[in-house]
């Protein structure tokens, strides 16, 4: 329950950040309807810019070496400009923009569809094609106040379910105290328009209270919650194929007992209410600890959100300015380096639900790079980078190109890819051998002996030979005792994480809150 509640809280944050600007009517503007209009819009065009700045603890900054200070200087104040985006329909979006860094701008173009993301970045010779996982349902690609919103649960595949979920959330979220309404003239894409302006100033200390009020409202709305769960059940029960099976499993409908409609709905209704009660009870801690996170520390000081939102008479969002500051009170404590993060977002939007034509990136005959996000290696991209480009010098001068990282999920995580799901046995963690090798630049081979695994490091020449079911191995021809035994499970070879990582000089960083193991080599 604890891990799942954390994931639900994390998944809700984008919607909450939008909705924190207010959801109840003010000045005759129905904000509930306005947000649903924005998130379910079919087509639109516009532009966005995002900037991120952070402040460093003075002692930490002084203790940095030259390369670390150069890295901070290069990326602090980074800006992302989307000078032109076009949403032709929910699953067809294009954008032209640039990354603004200290060394200059790096232009890029991107297109997003149901099945593929295509990128063209200045400095990379060929277009990049990223196929979307066929096991993940195609979902709406909404461009709005926060840019691209791509929910990752099957329930949002239906517009009706999208509206129902958002209606339930927005219905119960109260307006923050610092909200002001006025009418104002603004220029949008060269056109002067009279708009409804909503100004919101939310202090960090208010966020947890608003969140509690939202959850209590949903908990009291028993009929609305049950109606939404019924819709979700009907949607998943009527779907076919791998996506339907995955959706039912993630939502708790995969147990044969729950295939009974009445039992399935009642079970999920009770489970969701139990989770809401658990989160609400957790949020009552006077120290501000909720689900292992201290929100009093994170949201204290100068933390807060200031937003100016501009709606037209049709309740379409036409312009936005948003400033988010995170200035935790843990700044200055031992181990703390970043004392504050400041994010600003500006946007203008037009042609809502009108004819918009998304641009296309031509990949025919361009030797496009097919990039599998789960299996791609850094070398695939590095070989395609123009050595005279700003991008190449950025990577070469500031980033450790020889460093490789892989993350494994150890806790209960039905949403992570199987390749990243680790298994804990007797206090030891085992991970899939092939994925581990691919992500850390190692070569995995199967030896002449049955069940023999050979890991090679092309950079150092180190060789580790293991056998399934045996606790001894050979590292560079030297016999060594392992602290675990490699084994095979569901057609995957699993290897002991700590022993193998230490054999190749990799470092493991354990996150007890999210129960993830991050392995870094290089």
Burial of 458 (0-12, 13-18, 19+ CB in 10 A): exposed
Residues near 45 by beta carbon (within 8 Å), at least 6 away in sequence: 84, 85, 86, 87, 349, 350, 351, 356
Q: Is the pLDDT of residue 65 over 90?
A: no
Q: Is the pLDDT of residue 23 over 60?
A: no
Which of these ranges, 145-149, 284-288, 331-335, has the smallest mean pLDDT?
Answer: 145-149
Please state the domain extents for the chain: 404-521
Spacing of C-alpha 485 from chain mean position: 34
User: In 10 A of CB 143, how many CB atoms?
Assistant: 25
Taking a C-beta distance cutoff of 8 angstroms, is the pair 301, 327 a contact? Answer: yes
Taking a C-beta distance cutoff of 8 angstroms, is the pair 508, 483 a contact? Answer: no
Tokens for 96, please give them.
């032209």
Taking a C-beta distance cutoff of 8 angstroms, is the pair 139, 151 a contact? Answer: yes
- Type and span of the H or E element at 520: strand 516-521
Across residues 382-409, what is the average pLDDT?
77
Strands 78-89 and 44-56: antiparallel
Residues near 315 by beta carbon (within 8 Å), at least 6 away in sequence: 29, 30, 33, 34, 37
Q: Confidence class of residue 400 from pLDDT cuts 50, 70 and 90?
A: low
Q: Is the pLDDT of residue 348 over 90?
A: yes
- Could you tell me which CATH class the domain 404-521 is placed in? alpha beta
Residues near 384 by beta carbon (within 8 Å), at least 6 away in sequence: 124, 125, 126, 369
| DSSP assignment letter at 77 | T
CA atoms within 13 A on the CB side of 384: 19
Which of these ranges, 164-178, 355-369, 469-483, has the smallest mean pLDDT?
Answer: 164-178
- Among candidates 381, 372, 300, 475, which has minimal Cα distance to 117? 372
- What percent of the chain has a predicted confidence (pLDDT) above 70? 75
What 3-state DSSP class applies to 264?
helix
Which of these ranges, 6-20, 37-51, 97-111, 127-141, has the smallest mean pLDDT?
Answer: 6-20
Q: Is the pLDDT of residue 259 over 90?
A: no
The confidence score (pLDDT) of residue 22 equals 52
Q: Render 137-167 in DSSP notation, one character per residue.
A: PP---EEETTEEE---SGGGGSHHHHHHHHH
Tokens for 243, please give them.
């996506």
Tokens for 74, please give them.
């290069």
Distance CA(355)–CA(44), nearest Å, equals 8
The confidence score (pLDDT) of residue 279 equals 85
Tokens for 314, please give them.
């049709």
Burial of 181 (0-12, 13-18, 19+ CB in 10 A): middle
Across residues 93-119, what is the average pLDDT?
91
Q: Confidence class of residue 437 from pLDDT cuts 50, 70 and 90?
A: very high
Strands 128-131 and 369-370: parallel
Distance CA(130)–CA(372), nearest Å, equals 6
Distance CA(254)–CA(247), nearest Å, equals 9
Across residues 432-450, what is the average pLDDT?
88
Distance CA(269)–CA(404), nearest Å, equals 43
CA distances from 167 to 170, 287, 309 (A): 5, 32, 20
Q: Confidence class of residue 414 from pLDDT cuts 50, 70 and 90?
A: low
Distance CA(141)–CA(40), nearest Å, equals 10
Taking a C-beta distance cutoff of 8 angstroms, is the pair 429, 423 a contact? Answer: yes
Q: Is the pLDDT of residue 344 over 70?
A: yes
Across residues 268-294, what is the average pLDDT?
81
Q: Confidence class of residue 482 from pLDDT cuts 50, 70 and 90?
A: very high
Phi-psi region of 248 (alpha: psi -120 to 50; beta: other; left: phi over 0): alpha
Give CA angle at 435 (434, 441), nearest 5°: 90
The confidence score (pLDDT) of residue 413 equals 57
Sign of CA dihedral 245, 13, 230, 315: negative
Q: Is the pLDDT of residue 107 over 80?
A: yes
Q: Is the pLDDT of residue 20 over 60?
A: no
Structure-token match 């010098």, residue found: 393
Distance CA(470)–CA(439), nearest Å, equals 25
With 0.85 as the threshold, say if the pTM is over it. no
- Give the model confidence (pLDDT) of 203-256 as tens digits: 887 887 888 888 899 999 999 999 998 988 887 665 544 444 444 454 444 556
The confidence score (pLDDT) of residue 381 equals 65
Across residues 22-39, what is the average pLDDT?
73
Helices 222-238 and 204-220 pack at an angle, to 10 degrees, of 80
Bridge partners of 192, per DSSP, are 187
Across residues 298-307, what is the average pLDDT?
80
Q: Is the pLDDT of residue 197 over 90?
A: yes
- Give the model confidence (pLDDT) of 125-183 as tens digits: 889 888 875 443 333 333 333 333 333 434 344 567 777 887 888 788 777 777 888 99
Residues near 40 by beta carbon (within 8 Å), at least 6 away in sequence: 140, 142, 159, 162, 163, 166
137 vs 63, residue with greater confidence: 63
Q: Is the pLDDT of residue 27 over 50?
A: yes
Q: Is the pLDDT of residue 97 over 70?
A: yes
The confidence score (pLDDT) of residue 149 equals 37
The confidence score (pLDDT) of residue 74 equals 72
Q: Is the pLDDT of residue 516 over 80?
A: yes
- Among candidates 14, 55, 20, which has minimal Cα distance to 175? 20
pLDDT averaged over every residue in the chain: 79
Across residues 406-415, what is the average pLDDT?
76
Helices 2-19 and 261-283 pack at an angle, to 10 degrees, of 80
- Type and span of the H or E element at 496: strand 492-496
């Amino acid at each position: 329950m604890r891990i799942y509640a954390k994931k639900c809280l994390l998944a809700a944050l984008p919607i909450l950040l939008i909705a924190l600007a207010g959801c109840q009517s003010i000045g005759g503007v129905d904000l509930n309807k306005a947000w649903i209009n924005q998130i379910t819009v079919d087509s639109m065009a516009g532009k966005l810019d995002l900037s991120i700045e952070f402040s460093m603890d003075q002692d930490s900054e002084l203790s940095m070496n030259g390369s670390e200070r150069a890295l901070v200087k290069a990326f602090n104040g980074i800006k992302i400009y989307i000078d032109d985006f076009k949403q032709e329909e929910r699953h067809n979006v294009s954008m032209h923009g640039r990354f603004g860094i200290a060394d200059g701008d790096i232009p890029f173009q991107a297109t997003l569809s149901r099945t593929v993301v295509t990128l063209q970045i200045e400095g990379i010779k060929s277009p990049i094609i990223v196929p979307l996982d066929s096991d993940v349902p195609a979902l709406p690609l909404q461009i709005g106040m926060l840019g691209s919103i791509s929910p990752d649960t099957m329930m949002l595949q239906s517009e009706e379910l999208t509206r129902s979920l958002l209606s339930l959330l927005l219905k119960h979220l109260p307006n923050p105290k610092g909200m002001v309404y006025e009418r104002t003239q603004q220029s949008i894409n060269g056109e002067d328009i009279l708009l409804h302006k909503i100004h919101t100033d939310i202090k960090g200390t208010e966020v947890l209270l608003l969140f509690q009020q939202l959850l209590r409202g949903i908990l009291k709305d028993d009929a609305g919650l049950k109606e939404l769960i019924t819709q979700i059940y009907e949607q998943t029960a009527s779907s076919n194929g791998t996506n339907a099976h995955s959706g039912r499993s993630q939502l708790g409908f995969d147990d044969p007992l729950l295939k009974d409609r009445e039992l399935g709905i009642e079970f999920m209704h009770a489970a969701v209410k139990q989770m809401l009660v658990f989160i609400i009870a957790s949020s009552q801690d006077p120290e501000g600890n909720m689900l292992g996170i201290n929100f009093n520390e994170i949201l204290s000081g100068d933390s807060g959100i200031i937003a100016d939102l501009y709606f037209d008479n049709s309740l379409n969002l036409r312009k936005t300015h948003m400033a988010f500051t995170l200035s935790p009170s843990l700044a200055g404590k031992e181990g703390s380096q970043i004392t504050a993060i400041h994010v600003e977002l500006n946007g203008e939007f037009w042609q809502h639900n009108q004819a918009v034509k998304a641009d296309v990136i031509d990949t025919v005959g361009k030797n496009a790079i097919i990039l599998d996000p789960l299996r791609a290696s850094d070398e695939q991209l590095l070989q395609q980078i123009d050595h005279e480009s700003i991008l190449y010098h950025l990577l070469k001068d500031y980033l450790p190109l020889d460093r490789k990282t892989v993350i494994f999920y150890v806790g209960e995580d039905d949403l992570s890819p199987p390749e990243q799901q680790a298994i804990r046995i007797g206090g030891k963690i085992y991970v899939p051998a092939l994925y581990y090798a691919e992500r850390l630049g190692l070569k995995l081979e199967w030896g002449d002996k049955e069940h023999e695994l050979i890991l090679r490091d092309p950079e150092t020449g180190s060789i580790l030979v293991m056998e399934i079911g045996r606790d001894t191995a050979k590292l560079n021809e030297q016999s060594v005792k392992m602290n675990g035994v490699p084994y095979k499970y569901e057609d995957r070879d699993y290897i002991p994480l700590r022993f193998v990582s230490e054999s190749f000089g990799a470092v493991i960083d354990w996150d007890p809150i999210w129960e993830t193991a991050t392995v870094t080599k290089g």
